[in-house]
Structures are given as C-alpha cells and as structure tokens.
Structure 1
Amino acid sequence: MNHIANTLWNAVQAIIGFNLIFPLLLLFIATLVRKKKPARQPGKEADYAIIVTAYLYTDSLHSVVSSILKLNYSNYLIYIVADNCDISNLHFESDKVVLLRPETVLASNTRSHFYAIRNFRRAHERLTIIDSDNLVEPEYLNNLNTYFDQGFEAVQGIREAKNLDTTYARLDGARDIYYHYYDGKQLFDAGSSATLAGSGMAFTVALYRECLEQKDIVGAGFDKILQSEIVKRNKRIAFVPDAIVFDEKTSRSDQLVNQRARWINTWFKYFRFGFTLIFKGIANFSWNQILFGIVLLRPPLFIFLILGMMMMFVNLFINPMVAALWAAGFIAFVTGFVISLKRSHTDPRIYTSLAGIPKFVFFQLISLANIFRANKRSVSTQHFHTETEIEKTLQEQKV
C-alpha cells in the first residue's frame, strides 16, 4: 500500500512539475523548428463577415464599429448581434453595418454567431469574431490574410490591453502576454496550433459551420470546443502576431471573480478534450494533435502554481532533494514568464503591478469556489470605460 501511495505521489508531482518547465521546453522546440514568417501576398481582397456580439450592454458598440470602419480594407460587412439589448440608442450611418436584434434571448455566443450567419447579406468567404468591448487595428484583416493565403483555415490574432488603469487590469494584461507568447506564438512555431482566445480570431465560414453548426453551446467556453473540433480534424490554427485587437481588461475585483469563475469552469468542463487529441495524435502520428492535447490538459496558471508551492513545502520535511528540484522548477517558470514579457510589447506599468500577484491569485481562489454556479453569476462581463476614455487610449497607443 505504501508503494502504491508513493508511486501516486511521485506521479502527481511529476505532472504538476512538468507544467513549470513546459514553457521553456516549448520555447526550445519552437526555436529548433521555427519557420520564416510568410510575406503578405497582394491580391484580391477576401470577403469578410465581421461578427460583433453584445449581450445586455451596448455602451462600447459605437467605438468598436468606429474602429472597424477605419480598417484599411473594403470587402467586408459588420454584423452586430445585439442579444437582449436595448438598441434604441444604436444608430450607424454606414451601409457596411447590419444591426440584428434576435426576437428571443439567445444568451449564447455561438447562437449569436449563427444568427448572424443565417442573416448574411451575401455569401462571405471568411468570418472574424470581435467582442463588443474590442477595438481593431487598421491592418487587422490584411494581416489575417497573410496566413489565410498560406492555406490556413483558422487563425488567431493577438489581444492587447486596451486599458491598464488598475492593478487588476495590468495583471490581467500580463497574463494575456504570457499565454499569447506560449500558447499562441511558441505553440504554433513548434508545429502545433495556437489556442483560441474568444475574439480576434477568424475562420473560413465553411470550417466554422462544419465545426459548430450542429452543436448548441451555452455558457462560456465555445472557443474551447471550437479549437478542439479544428485540431481533431488535424487542421492547424495559425497565430498572427500582427493581427491586433485591443481588449478591455478586468479592472475591478467583482469583474475578475465573475469572469474567472466562468473561465475556470470551462477548463474543468473541457480539459478532457486533451486526452482525446493525444490519443488521436498517437494514432495519426500527428505532432499537432499530441502537443495541443498536452496544452489542453494543463490546469489554469494559478492552480498548478499553488499546488507546486504546496508540494515543495511538504518536501522540505520529507525529501529536501525533491524540494530543491521544485525550487529549480519555479526558477524555470519565472524565467519563462520574464522572457514572455521581455519579448513582447509590455507596458512598463505591467512590470510595476507584478507585486500585486498574490492579491490577484487570492481573487482567483474565490473564483474557484464559485465555478459550479459560474454561468449563473453572469453570462457576460460588464465594463466601465466611457467612449471618451477609449478614444484617449487609442490615441495614446497611436492606433
């Protein structure tokens, strides 16, 4: 019995410890196999449907539409799906904007997306999904095309922070930088697929319909199902670091708790997809599926860090040599985290906010306690920045 317990204890330690060194391991693999970035190919503009979804709140819609209309691109239409919204104050003069208000409450991202698809004004070749609190950089669609033109059917852009007004927003931005760098750039460069981020992503309309049209997804996590369906077909999701959307970060503790409760809930709900992809990858000899499956099995950042700390503390009393290995693992993780910040466009304010990480983790622990009623607490994140503040932010970032 003791032998079984020791074996299980060592196995759990190995699994959690692997997550600490995985970022540097992924960086090493990506460095070995990285290919040259493809050049933009001038040619005919592909026809895009830009789907903007809103639930309950419409305060930021005029700003997001204004930023989209400034795209250096002409062949697109904007479909705003205002689900359960008051649209009396929404007026758009451009004929590129199609305002849709479903007759019944949808309360689902994918239901809103397919409501837009069923109301397309023409047969679009590609679609891209933008949140109602996002803003887009003028070359967004052109940069997406660089990878579509290479044969990819699914691409993920980068979501940069639109606001860094509080410690919570800055730490949220730091977290995004870390995940974009490893789960986006390095994972794709290593020969697998970038993970999807919920917005700032684009697909051929045919692939999106093939993956999700027969599924009715409620609650958070449609992007988790979508990425699994794409990689299950052994297609790769490209990461496009130049396709930039500006995403509003959580600036208040109540926002953070509600949002993270939904996100953590989706990991517990969908991490099993990782096993499916690993088994498929082994059967298909697919590096794309195997590596992506490993990433899907990884717990949220704060969970494996806390578990690792606990295991290191226990080993201080039962096996100091193993405790030293844990310390080395944490050094490797911190090194990887710093590399992600240094090699990205990191605002100096983010560095000054890192001292607030313990408080940030504390609120995520509160989120963990609320995961089983996560989708009941809120199905969308309310933001609190006025359009004037948003325009000021864009001017500062020289968009």
Structure 2
Amino acid sequence: MTTLWLTVLIILIYFGCSVAYLLILTLAGKYNYRNPWTLGSTQPTLYRRIAIVVPAYKEDGIIVHTAQNLLDQDYPAICFDVHVMADSLRPETVARLRGLPLTVWEVAFKKSTKTRSLNAFFIRNRQPYDVVLICDADNMVGSDFLSKVNAAFDQGARAFQGRRVAKNTDTSYAFLDACSEAINNHIFRKGTSALGLSSAVIGSGMAFEYNMLRDILASIDAVGGFDKPLQLKVVARGIKIRYVEDALIYDEKIESGDAFGNQRRRWLSSQWVYLRRYFLPGWVQLFRGNVSYFNLAVANNIVLPRALLLGALPLVAAGAFFVDPVLGWTGVVLWVGYLFTLAMALPKAYYGKDLIKALIRLPGAMGRMALNLLQLRSADKTFIHTLHTRTTISNNVLNR
C-alpha cells in the first residue's frame, strides 16, 4: 500500500461521504417530505405585529421599488411596518423613501455589514413587535407572505424560512444561479425538514421572534455570512427553523460571470470560516443530542459547494485510474451518483433548452469558483457588495 494509493483512497472516501449525504437529503426531500406548515385560509388566532427590516447598502436603483412591494400586503396595515436601513443611499433616494408609509433609518459605518444595520435597528427601535422578517434590498414577496409568516407562528413556529426563488432567469448565468438555488432549497431545506431537522436559512425571507433575534444578533458582528452563526445560535436553544415551501420570496440572480465569481467567493469564505469556528462545538452538540446543530455547523459546511464537487469528482476519478483502476472506477461511480442526485434535486420545471444553455456556462463558473479558493481570506475581511438592478419579476420557470 503506497502513500499515493492511500491518499487517493482518503479523497474518494471524503467524496463518497459527501455524495451519500447529499443523496440521503435529496431522497428524503423527494419521498419523505410532508409539509406540516400547510397554510390554508383558516382564520388566525391573532395578527402578530411584524417588523419587516431591509438593510439597504448603496441600493438606490431598486430600494424604492422593493419598499413599495413590501408595503403591498393583504395583512392588516396596523399590524406591520417596513423599516429601511439606509446605508450610503443618496439624499434623493432617502427623500423618496420618506414619502412612503414606512420608517427610514439612516446609518453609517466605518465598515458596512448587514449585521450592523440589523443591530442598529434593534438599538433604535422603540415600537413593540412580535416577529421580525428580514429581507434584502432586491427582494420581492407575494401579497400573502406576511399572512403565511403569521400562520406558521400560529402553528408553533418560532423561526421561519420561506422559499427563495429567482426574480430573473433571462440570462444563462441567472438561470444557472436559479438552478443552484432550487437544488439548495430541495436538499438543505426540504430534505432536512423531511428528516425532522432544522432547515438552513438563506439570509433573507426569514422571520424570527423579535426578542430572540434581538438578543442573538447583539452577539454577532460578521462581515459576511451572518446567517450561519445566526441559525446555529437559534438551534442551540433547541428551536427548529421551519421551512415553508409555499411562502415565496424573489431574489435577484446575477447575470455575469464576474458577479457570479464574486458572489461565490463570499459564500465560500463564510463556509470555510464557520466550519473552522464551529467544527468542535458541532461535535459537542451532536453528543448532546442536538443533531440539527451538527448538521448546520459541520455537515453542511464540510461538503464542497455543489459546482466544485461536480468538477472535482471527474478529475479525481481520472487521476485515480493511474494509481489503481478499482479506485478510478469508484470515482466514476461516485460522479454518476452525484449527477443523479443533482438531477433529482432540480425541479422538473427547470428542464428544457434554458438549462442546456446554462450548462454551457457551467465549466466557466466552476473555473471561477476554483480560482476564488485562492482569495478566501480577503473575502472574509471585506464586504463584497453585489449590485442589483431588477425591479420586476421575470421568472418563466415558476409559470410552467
């Protein structure tokens, strides 16, 4: 047994565990998911007071449209308020926002982050609320979104994650990003919920008990990926984050390769940072019986991002043939199994000519992600802002 042979075997074991983990969650989401949060037209026991908080950093092009959309709810107007955290917005944008029935909080930071904007809201706000809904400046929601949040809390939820879908799918990169979002929804939210575990959050379209979120965020000052420590602090309290599949929140998808690369660099950085930080606490929580904490802290983060895993597996399999044909064929089997997993996790509505066009862009996207592995340290220290421009929904997939 040579050192090279053993090294390839260890790598294949890692990939095998990753594929098995993703396959189990995919199968659970497809065949074992029963939505306990089916939100019908039953009369709520009460209308909770909900604060919609929108951190807006240099989002002059879209924030007014977003605010108008969030105000258009079939929820009693007296029971919800929209709060825009205006960070580095132009004076004319702030003036337009002040003309709407919402609250504008102008904030300025030496280093702007979403966490600091949210904490500023909790420090300044003096109105009583039961629930906080966090949205991004590019998000849009249906007019029944708050009703679904309220219904979920009526049924015992204390933490809520809606299903984030693409606002736009009219370029290949946007469609590729939309596919990635749909796969992640199936695996990390629908699949985990099917196994009785806490759903992962996404950073927007998520709602929490007001006092709980205020207390938790006060202990977080993350540059990027604040949702990862947030979800861990929630499940550490024994609270499951409930995934509500029929509560849709629309999120703008990137439209260029450069934007795709920058976005993934931020995500890769937060994944690596929080894996290191919570690896040991994750195992401690597992031995205490908190499987949801371990799943979110360790299992979710130790698996390579889906696109990188898709590119790395065939490369490892090809190299393994030079070491041992058995190892090579093992790599091929794992790659085929992973392709099957992704195909099953992607909703049928996404299949068609648009998917073929997007797959042509996939090698370039994987290359950018691989290059971004060399820049993870800088991504953790600097807030990487993605410019948003879309003010309408142009997602043809959801109409199929």
Q: TM-score, normalised on structure 1?
A: 0.89
**Residue equivalent to 2:247:** 243
128-137 or 318-327: which moved more? 318-327
Partner in structure 2 of residue 64 of structure 1: 66
> Who is 1:197 aligned against?
202
Moved more, 20-29 or 340-349: 340-349
**Post-superposition CA distance 1:240-274 (Å, at most 9, x none):** 11111111111122222222221111111111355
Go from structure 1 to structure 2 and tell me whether the alpha carbon gap of 1:373 and 1:63 turns closer, same or farther (over 3 Å shift).
Answer: same
- Given candidates 266, 273, 282, the residue that maps to 1:269 is 273
Q: Could you tell me how far apart the structure 1 residues matched to 2:114 and 2:98 are?
A: 26
Q: Structure 2: any 5+ residue segments left out of the alignment?
A: none
1:54 counterpart SS class: strand
2:146 and 2:350 map into 1 onto residues whose CA distance is: 21
Q: Does 1:152 align with 2:157?
A: yes
Task: Find out whether 1:110 has 2:115 as its counterpart.
Answer: yes
**1:188/1:239 contact within 8 Å kept:** yes
- The amino acid that maps onto 2:43 is P
Distance in 1, matches of 2:367 and 2:201, equals 26
SS of aligned partner of 1:49: strand
Q: For 2:49, which of 39, 47, 50 is the aligned residue?
A: 47
From 283, 290, 293, the equivalent of 1:289 is: 293
Cα deviation for residue 214 of structure 1 reads: 2.5
AA partner of residue 70 (structure 1) = D
In terms of mean alpha carbon deviation, does 157-166 or 32-41 score higher? 32-41
CA distance 1:55–1:11, change in 2 (3 Å): same
Percent identity reads 22
- Read off the aligned partner of 2:370 and give its amino acid letter: L
2:395 and 2:71 mapped to 1: Cα distance?
15
Q: How far apart, in 2, do the equivalents of 1:224 and 1:310 lie?
A: 30
Bigger shift: residues 89-98 or 44-53:
89-98
Match of 1:304 among 309, 329, 346: 309
Q: Which amino acid aligns with 1:159?
A: R
Q: The residue matched to 1:269 in structure 2 has which SS?
A: helix
Query: TM-score, normalised to structure 2's length?
Result: 0.89
* Alpha-carbon separation, structure 2, partners of 1:257 and 1:39: 37
**Which stretch shows the higher mean deviation, 129-138 or 283-292?**
283-292
Indicate the residue corresponding to 1:20 in structure 2: 19
Q: Which amino acid aligns with 1:82?
A: A
Describe the shift of the 1:314–1:382 C-alpha distance in structure 2 as closer, same or farther (beyond 3 A). same
Q: Is 1:33–1:191's contact at 8 Å kept on the other side of the alignment? A: no
- Structure 1: give runs of 5+ residues left out of the alignment: none
Change (3 A) 1:378 1:114: closer
- 1:257–1:363 contact (8 Å) kept in structure 2: yes
Distance in 1 between residues matched to 2:153 and 2:225, nearest whole Å:
24
Moved more, 249-258 or 179-188: 249-258
Alignment partners' CA distance in 2, 1:396 and 1:324: 37
In the alignment, the residues of structure 2 paired with residue 113 and residue 247 of structure 1 have an alpha-carbon distance, to the nearest angstrom, of 19
Of 205, 209, 226, which aligns to 1:222?
226
2:394 maps to: 393
Q: What is the match of residue 256 of structure 1? A: 260
Question: Counterparts of 1:64 and 1:300 in 2: how far apart (Å)?
Answer: 30
**Contact 1:178 1:337 survives alignment (8 Å):** yes
Q: Is the CA contact (8 Å cut-off) linking 1:232 and 1:280 kept in structure 2?
A: no
Partner of 1:234: 238
| 1:37 equivalent in structure 2 | 36
Q: Are 2:385 and 1:380 equivalent residues in the alignment?
A: yes
Give the letter for the 1:141 counterpart.
L
Cα distance, 1:52 vs structure 2? 0.7
Count of residues in Structure 1 that have an aligned counterpart in Structure 2? 392
Moved more, 330-339 or 99-108: 99-108
